[in-house]
Structure 1
Amino acid sequence: MKLQKEMILLNQTDKTPEDVIKKSGQLLVDAGCVDSAYVDAMIERENKVSTYMGNFIAIPHGTDEAKEYVKKSGISIVQVPEGIDFSTEDDDEEKLATVIFGIAGVNNEHLDILQQIAVFCSDVQNVVKLADANSEDEVIALLEEVAE
């Protein structure tokens, strides 16, 4: 799966997880990866359990029931340099995300996608580079190993 410039939004100013999830989901819709119902399933999943993964990233994706809305695997990336707080009232600390990866996977391809993103982003310096990237090409260059 190849990362595409049109699937990346830089310097966004969203304030809530729902807003940025809608935006990342719409990128997947526009690219023909999912039906629009998948975006609702992404929000539903977030309402059940946070998709914040640590190290300033969140990886929103649909519920298991939403697999029928996935046409092809894809990754969208939304950069929010100021960050979005993904914490809930049950959390003791702020869960700030500056890079949001929207994902959709055919069959279980999304598990591979999740693993690749997690490995890359386990180094917080990689996330800082993504949050500071000034172009879609720079983001793609940083994530080339994720796309392979």
Structure 2
Amino acid sequence: MQNEKVSIEKDNILFDLDVKDYREVISTLSDLLYENHVINSKEEFNNAVIERENDISTSIGNELAIPHGKSESVLHSSIALAVLKNKIKWGGEGNDEVKYVFMLAIEDRDKGNKHLQVLANLSSHLMDDDFVKEFKKAESKDQLFKIVNKIN
């Protein structure tokens, strides 16, 4: 089975994002994906991600979250990335604190295996201690972009 890749474009990275809660992160990243022509409906995509988040939190520990939404509004599968200025509680009460958010936008036609392969590929990198240490040391959007390109 081929390893599916989805790019993280430099324009889809936000560094030092100042937000209050996970909904604001998702909304801000949805806006970014809309502005960069990854999605054609901010509201539809945002709602899909929030609905998925309400089912079960996508925080994975180590200050990381991987929210995702599968929606007909996605024009091409992509990943948006936000490094938050301050940690926030992710999801409902008692959930992990998060500072790094990788939000997947999965094209409707890719809902099946590709979605799972992309998620597995990203997750395997985020479980690699060396990669995470390097990722967390990034001090700029440019540094972050160079590091996350190792995912692909």
- The bucket for the TM-score relative to the shorter chain is 0.7 to 0.9
Pairing 1:1-148 to 2, within 5 Å after superposition: 1-34=6-39, 35-36=41-42, 37-62=44-69, 66-89=70-93, 91=94, 94-106=95-107, 107=110, 108=112, 109-146=114-151, 148=152
Alpha-carbon offset, residue 121 of structure 1: 0.9
Task: List gaps (5 residues or longer) in structure 1.
Answer: none
Task: List gaps (5 residues or longer) in structure 2.
Answer: 1-5
Alpha-carbon offset, residue 120 of structure 1: 1.2
Aligned length: 141
Comparing 127-136 with 1-10, greater Cα deviation is found at: 127-136
For the Cα contact (< 8 Å) 2:53–2:91, is it kept in 1? Answer: no
Residue aligned with 1:84, SS:
strand
Relative to total residues, which structure has the larger strand share, 1 or 2?
A: 2
**Could you tell me which residue of structure 1 aligns to residue 3 of structure 2?**
none
- Residue deviations 1:60-104 (CA, integer Å, cap 9, x gap): 112xxx532221011100101421111533x4xx50111101111
Comparing 7-16 with 137-146, greater Cα deviation is found at: 137-146
Task: Give the whole-Å Cα distance in 2 for the aligned partners of 1:120 and 1:3.
Answer: 14
RMSD (CA atoms): 1.9
For the Cα contact (< 8 Å) 1:56–1:127, is it kept in 2? Answer: no
The code of the aligned residue for 2:26 comes to: I
Distance 1:137 1:117, change over 3 A: same
Identity among equivalent pairs (%): 28
Task: Give the whole-Å Cα distance in 2 for the aligned partners of 1:110 and 1:13.
Answer: 29
Alpha-carbon offset, residue 22 of structure 1: 0.8
The code of the aligned residue for 2:88 comes to: I
Distance 1:78 1:30, change over 3 A: same
Distance 1:129 1:97, change over 3 A: farther
Residue aligned with 1:104, SS:
strand
Residue aligned with 1:26, SS:
helix
- With normalisation by structure 1, the TM-score equals 0.83
- With normalisation by structure 2, the TM-score equals 0.81
Task: Give the whole-Å Cα distance in 2 for the aligned partners of 1:104 and 1:72.
Answer: 8
